[in-house]
């Protein structure tokens, strides 16, 4: 009876890993930003690290459920949990309280809660340490096949932005209307035609606008761009903007609410978000959420004070 209960527990632990991996895939854009937020890796490499973590979790989950290669899967699972826990301890040291994305955006855990969750899982893994697994004649080939299959699945379902053809956003912004708007109220008094400025056109209720704000906040913090040289131009209400900042957990840059909604929609052809880089009023960069290039942003941010 005890043997059967331990096998059931092992299957449940495996399913937990699989569910966790699937929820990360569903929430991939935010999970990528979470990985990038530690600045251990570049934005492009963070895309790969996020997917690698999901692939490992899927392989371990399938291995636990199938009861194949027990010791390898057990040690892999325990080391993964210990690694995640070490990262969460580091997050606490940084004073972070945001969602760790271990179950995507469906179940939100702050670092403390996730550490407790991992501690419980480690205790449960200790209980199944001596469970008897089984081996295939070609277990190494089976492991490689499962890993390749999981990798292919993850990259097909959610290909990274930097390895897929992205749309050209230059058709989204009406350059003539945007340049004219810089010289008219309410933008004409903000000094946007002097020096290097970033103007983001956002909708307060747009999910991708919120993630764009997160990405822009991270890059600005990493590369030291002055906060007062970033302006958010919102379509929305004051209440909606405050909700936007709260839900996006992004830096609160100077902003205006563009009252003439029809004119704003003409400027951006109804497309949100759009991030525009200005150098003395000249458009030198234009991005959407998926094609924001870190090296180009970094060069723009770091050269702000150059003559």
- Per-residue pLDDT at 167 exceeds 70: no
| pLDDT tier, 131 (very low <50, low <70, confident <90, very high otherwise) | confident
> What's the CA gap between 266 and 89, in Å, rounded?
48
Candidates 137, 136, 146, 151; CA nearest to 67 is: 136
The pLDDT of residue 22: 96
| pLDDT tier, 105 (very low <50, low <70, confident <90, very high otherwise) | confident
Q: pLDDT tens, 29-50?
A: 999 999 999 999 999 999 999 9
Q: pLDDT tens, 240-290?
A: 999 999 988 889 999 999 999 999 999 999 999 999 999 999 999 999 998
Q: pLDDT tens, 172-214?
A: 899 999 999 999 999 988 989 899 999 999 999 999 999 999 9
Sign of CA dihedral 198, 199, 205, 208: negative
The pLDDT of residue 211: 95
DSSP string, the chain: -HHHHHHHHHHHHHHHHHHHHHHHHHTHHHHHHHHHHT-SS-HHHHHHHHHHHHHHHHHHHHHHHHTBSHHHHHHHHHHHHHHHHHHHHHHHHTT--S---EEEETB---HHHHHHHHHHHHHHHHHTTT---B--TTHHHHHHHHHHHHHHHHHHHS--GGGS----GGGTS-HHHHHHHTTSTTTTTTTTTSSEEEEEEEETT-HHHHHHHHHHHHHHHHHT--GGGEEEEEES-HHHHHHHHHHHT-----EEE-S-HHHHHHHTTT---EEEEEETTEEEEEE-STT--HHHHHHHHHTTT--
> What's the CA gap between 195 and 31, in Å, rounded?
34
**Taking the CA atoms of the chain, what radius of gyration do you get in angstroms?**
23
Say what angle helices 43-66 and 139-157 make with each other, to 10 degrees: 130
Sign of CA dihedral 179, 183, 186, 187: positive
> Cβ–Cβ contacts within 10 Å for residue 129, how many?
12
> What's the CA gap between 235 and 291, in Å, rounded?
22
Q: Which of 11-25, 94-108, 113-127 has the lowest mean pLDDT?
A: 94-108
Site of tokens 């058709």? 171
Claim: this prediction has a pTM higher than 0.85: yes
- Per-residue pLDDT at 306 exceeds 60: no
- Per-residue pLDDT at 166 exceeds 70: no
- Per-residue pLDDT at 2 exceeds 80: no
Sign of CA dihedral 117, 244, 158, 296: negative
Q: pLDDT tens, 70-101?
A: 899 999 999 999 999 999 999 999 999 999 99
The pLDDT of residue 198: 96
Q: pLDDT tens, 141-152?
A: 888 999 999 999
| Average pLDDT along the chain | 91
- Per-residue pLDDT at 307 exceeds 60: no
The pLDDT of residue 107: 87
């Amino acid at each position: 009876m005890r043997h059967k209960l331990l096998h059931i527990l092992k299957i449940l632990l495996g399913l937990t890993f699989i569910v966790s991996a699937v929820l990360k895939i569903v929430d991939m854009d935010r999970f990528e930003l979470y990985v990038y937020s530690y600045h251990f890796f570049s934005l492009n490499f963070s895309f790969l690290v996020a997917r690698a973590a999901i692939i490992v979790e899927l392989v371990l989950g399938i291995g636990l459920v199938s009861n194949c290669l027990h010791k390898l899967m057990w040690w892999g699972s325990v080391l993964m949990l210990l690694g995640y826990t070490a990262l969460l301890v580091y997050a606490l040291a940084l004073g972070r309280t945001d969602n760790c994305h271990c179950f995507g955006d469906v179940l939100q855990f702050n670092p403390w809660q996730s550490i407790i969750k991992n501690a419980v899982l480690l205790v449960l893994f200790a209980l199944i340490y001596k469970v008897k697994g089984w081996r295939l004649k070609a277990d190494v080939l089976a492991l490689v096949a499962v890993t390749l299959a999981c990798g292919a699945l993850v990259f097909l379902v959610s290909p990274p932005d930097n390895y897929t053809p992205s749309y050209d956003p230059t058709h989204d912004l009406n350059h003539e209307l945007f340049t004219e708007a810089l010289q008219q109220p309410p933008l004409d008094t903000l000094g946007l035609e002097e020096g290097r400025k970033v103007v983001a056109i956002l909708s307060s209720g747009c999910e991708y606008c919120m993630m764009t704000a997160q990405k822009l906040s991270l890059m600005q913090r990493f590369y030291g761009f002055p906060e007062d040289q970033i302006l958010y131009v919102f379509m929305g209400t004051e209440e909606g903007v405050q909700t936007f900042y709260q839900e996006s957990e992004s830096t609160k840059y100077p902003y205006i609410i563009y009252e003439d909604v029809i004119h704003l929609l003409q400027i951006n052809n109804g497309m949100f978000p759009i991030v525009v880089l200005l150098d003395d009023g000249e458009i030198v960069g234009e991005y959407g959420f998926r094609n924001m290039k870190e090296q180009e942003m970094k060069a723009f941010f770091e050269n702000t004070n150059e003559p």
